[in-house]
Amino acid sequence: MEQPAAVILAAGSGTRMNSALPKVLHPLCGRPMLAHVVAALRRAGVGRVLIVVGRDGRAAIRNAIGAGADYVVQHPPRGTGHALAQALPHLRRVGLAYVVHGDMPFVSPATLRALRRALGRTGGAALATRVVEDTHRFGRIVRDPAGRFVGIVEERDATPEEAAIREVNAGMYVVRVAEIRRALARVRPNNRQGEYYLTDAMNVLAVTGREVTTVPVSDPAEMLGINTREELAEAEAALRGRILRRLMQGGVTVVDPASTFVDAEVRVGRDTVLHPQTILTGRTVIGAGCEIPRAACTASRRAAVGTFLRWLKTVSIATAATGICAASAINMHT
């Protein structure tokens, strides 16, 4: 099976975050939300990753994500279709590409692989959808009487009948690069925003007889796009819960999940006990059979926890062979 590339749309300014930091670099359980998206794509089998960035955020995003991706600047920002068009010249030898948003950190490898299967050998594109109660902000999926995909209508442009549709676009795609290139060439900014919509390219494919298939998303969290600090906090809580459940399923005791914070890249061995108010950050590694008291454990001072906490108590972690955590209180002041 052909290895797909991926295009991550990350050029949005994120004005509602009210921050000098690019929106996609705001941390989520210890790493930028964009890094979670890149990791999911890698686990789905993606080869080349192209990140479409804004002119002002290019340097910061490159510094954060590194040389594992290529970067394309979109300036001025003229919509999602325009953003994808900036990446296409870099995909001339690529047959398939995922297209995802950099502010959707819960996208899963399973959904990406399902999209690839749904595309098959002849489809023009496949996209993820979900039937929801709250359709606010989502594009609506329009189907013909036989249930075939007809198009996507953005909420701002929907008629009352279209706005009543409850199946919505989840914002994850796999496209055949040659097909989407031709479709984007026909897209015009005939909408209230005056933008080139990626969704209009899906509509062009359908109108011209190319097959556009849909894949249902089972986990509503995958559709979560982060645009505000409140949404960032909600995502942090949701991801933290997933991390702790994964640890507990792997044999770690978490005495009080409500007061335990563990970053995404932390590793904890089986039969270790995490007591209340434990904070494990960065790339901390804890062996099997350890007992962590009320403490914050960091991999090193480079983890930058002290930037955010005025006082920390850490423990030094012994090897898994001894299974002992030797207490070593350290005051860290900023």
CB 74 within 8 A of CB 90: no
H helix or E strand, kind and range, residue 180: helix 177-185
Cβ–Cβ < 8 Å for 103, 36: no
Q: If you count them, how many residues does the chain have?
A: 334
Joined tokens for residue 99: 């297209």
Residues 6 or more apart whose Cβ sits within 8 Å of residue 114: 215
CB < 8 Å & 24+ apart, contacts of 180-185: 180/84, 180/88, 180/97, 180/124, 180/125, 180/205, 181/88, 183/124, 183/208, 183/210, 184/81, 184/84, 184/85, 184/88
Q: Which residues are catalytic?
A: 16
Q: Which residues, other chains included, contact 255 with Cβ-Cβ below 8 Å and sequence gap of 6+?
A: 273, 274, 275, 276
Check: CB of residue 277 under 8 Å from CB of residue 257.
no
* The pair of three-digit structure tokens given for residue 34, joined into one six-digit string: 């964009």
